Amino acid sequence: MGVLLPMAPLLASTSLLALTVPAAALAEVQAQSQSPAEDAWAAMRTYFYGEREIGIADAAAFSLEAPASTPDPAATSLTLRFGAQDIGQVRQLRVIIDNNPSPVASTFEFAQGARIAEIELRVRVDRWTSVRAIAETTDGQLQMRSVWVNAAGGCSAAPTAASGGALGEIRFRNTPDGRSLQVAIRHPNNSGFQIDPLSGNPIPPHYVSHIHFSASGRALLDVDTGISLSENPTLRIASDSALPEPVSVEVTDSKDAHFNASWRGPASGGETIGDAAVSAR
Amino acid sequence: MLRPRLAFALCVLGASANAAPGEFTLTQFAPGVFVHLGRPLDLDAPDHDDIANVGFIVGARCTAVIDTGGSVRIGRALLAAVRRQTRRPICYVIDTHVHVDHVLGNAAFAPLRPSFVGHAALPAALARSRRYFLQHYAGDLDAPATAEQIIAPDRLVQSSLDLDLGGRVLHLRAWPVAHTDSDLTVLDEKTGTLWTGDLLFVQRLPAVDGDVAGWLAVIDELAHSEVRRAVPGHGPLVTDLSAAFIPERRYLRALLDGAQSAIDLGQSLPEAIDRVAAAEKPQWLLWDTTHPRNVTRVYQQLEWK
CA atoms within 13 A on the CB side of A89: 18
Contact indicator for A88, A115 with CB cutoff of 8 Å: yes
Q: Evaluate whether B53 touches B69 at the Cβ level (below 8 Å).
A: no
Inter-chain CB proximity A173 and B130 less than 8 Å: no
- Model confidence, pTM: 0.87
Residue A161 at interface with chain B, using a CB cutoff of 8 Å: yes
Kindly list the distances between the CA atom of residue A115 and the CA atoms of A167, A219, A276, in Å, as whole numbers in the listed order.
30, 12, 26
Do residues B193 and B33 touch, judged by C-beta distance below 8 A?
Answer: yes
Residue A14, domain member (yes or no): no
pLDDT at B4: 39
Give me the residue from A77, A153, A197 closest to B269, CB to CB. A77
Residue A81 lies in a domain: yes
Domain that holds residue A148: 25-280
Q: Residue A92's domain is classified under what CATH number?
A: 2.60.40.2470
Burial class of residue A152 (count of CB atoms within 10 Å of its CB; 0-12, 13-18, 19+): middle
Q: Which residues of A touch B297 (CB under 8 A)?
A: 72
The answer to whether the Cβ–Cβ distance between B296 and A75 falls below 8 Å is yes
| Chain B CB within 8 Å of residue A72 CB | yes
Domains of chain B from N-terminus onward: 2-244 (3.60.15.10)
Chain B CB contacts of A182 below 8 Å: 266, 268
Q: Residue A206 has what DSSP assignment?
A: B
Measured between CA atoms, how close is B209 to chain A, in angstroms?
9
Coil, strand or helix: which one is A63? strand
Inter-chain Cβ pairs, chain A and chain B, closer than 8 A: 75
Q: What is the distance between the alpha carbons of residues A216 and A76, in angstroms, rounded to a whole number?
A: 31
In a domain, A12, yes or no: no
Q: Per the domain annotation, does A155 fall within a domain?
A: yes
- Among A72, A78, A177, the strongest candidate for a mutation testing the B interface, having the largest count of B CBs within 10 A, is A72
B128, B269, B275, B288: best mutation site toward chain A, by most A Cβ within 10 Å? B269
Of B130, B266, B301, the CB nearest to A176: B266
Distance CA B98, CA B118 (A): 9
Residue A121 lies in a domain: yes
Inside any domain, residue A9: no
Question: Could you report the per-residue pLDDT of B108-140, keeping only the tens digit for each?
Answer: 999 999 999 999 999 999 998 998 899 899 999
pLDDT digits 0-9 by tens, B142-183: 999 999 999 999 999 999 999 999 999 999 999 999 999 999
* ipTM given for this complex: 0.84
Interval A210-222: pLDDT, tens: 999 999 999 999 9
**Among A165, A197, A119, A137, residue whose Cα is nearest residue A2:** A137
**Looking at the predicted structure, is the pLDDT value of residue A85 above 50?**
yes
Total domains in the fold of chain A = 1
Cβ separation of B266 and A270 shorter than 8 Å? yes
Cβ atoms of B64 and B41 within 8 Å: the answer is: no
What is the average pLDDT across B61-66?
98
Which of these ranges, A59-63, A253-257, B76-80, B97-101, has the smallest mean pLDDT?
Answer: A59-63
